[in-house]
Structure 1
Amino acid sequence: METIDKKTVWEGRFIRSIILTYKDHSGNLKNWEAAERVNCNSIIAVVPVTKNGELLLIRQFRPVVNNFVIEFPAGLNDKGESLVDAAKRELIEETGYSADDFIFLCEGPLSSGLSTEILSVFLAKDAIPATSKLKQQYPAEETENIELIKTPMSELHDALEAFRKGGDYIDLKIYGLVELAKKYF
């Protein structure tokens, strides 16, 4: 099985809609609708943990699901930017925290039936409030209205359940990524 052709149906500023033609297990040609990112290499997410053992989560409105979502800081990996540099930048932009110790946790597709996105995830150990110089260098994006949530790891499930009961969505990646991060503590 292999993809043999890709055609762009529509392209916007950040995503494009594509039709992939692939050969199935019987040798038949099939088409698959998908989305892919434009003008970036990939996407990253950061699991930030403070020196006091608090997880840093964010809460932001996501128009696609018409609701607030609790998630880890994440963003696009700009072309020419390393994955770690993207993780450092997104951590500062979205939480106002920085860290010196970034550990690769995992990478893989997010929604392999819909998107070509590959997510790379890093643990940011011993996160501390960023200096004013770093915050000026990496200001929060104007299009994002982000609320920072700090919660001890031991209270994570209760905190997430309270947000869920309050009507927010919880990004399912949180549960697995926290388990991956635990091996470093």
Structure 2
Amino acid sequence: MHTFANDPERGVFILIFLFCLIFLSLLIFFFFHNTENKKISNFFWFSKETSILINNWFMMYFLTVVLVGTIYPIFLEVITSEKISVGPPFYNKLIVPILIPFLLVMAIGPKLKWIKSELQNKISLVLFLIISFLLSIFIIRNFNIGFLINTILVASAFFLFFITLRDFFVRNLKNFSQNLAHFGFSLFILSILPPAARSA
């Protein structure tokens, strides 16, 4: 995010790299896209496809916020010669509330099946959710930060943490890379949230 301010040459290199990556991805998509022999199937909201679609929309939103926060000061400086810096309050207000449903979808999405699914192990999910809320209340009370939004966010991160940790033991090596990514993301949120919220 601060690459353009610290080293413009490196920022240009990253922009060129991202442009090539996106262009090649679109080229591969259109080259291998096949419109023949497509079967019409019903679309169900409660399915793995829906969770992946929602996840992609969340990621697009996060990338858009980061893009605006990075590009806006540059355009403002070019147009008005005014230098500003987009800091943590901007990202906290736009990203933190959206992280809550994003974490919940990350926790529940892998439990769904393709095309049509029913949520299983509801008792364990509710139990993990209650434990997550209790832990988050205990932690947030020790910080001089907003109670409601941060409690819900920490509880969502703990919920993803416990669900993914259970999957390591229940599913063994099945979807190991996915579980590892979700586990790392939950640890990331839990490690940065309270200090970031307190400094905001």
Shorter-chain TM-score tier: under 0.3
Find the structure with the greater CA-based Rg.
Answer: 2
Which structure: greater helix fraction?
Answer: 2
- Relative to the length of structure 1, the TM-score reads 0.26
Which structure: greater strand fraction?
Answer: 1
- Relative to the length of structure 2, the TM-score reads 0.25
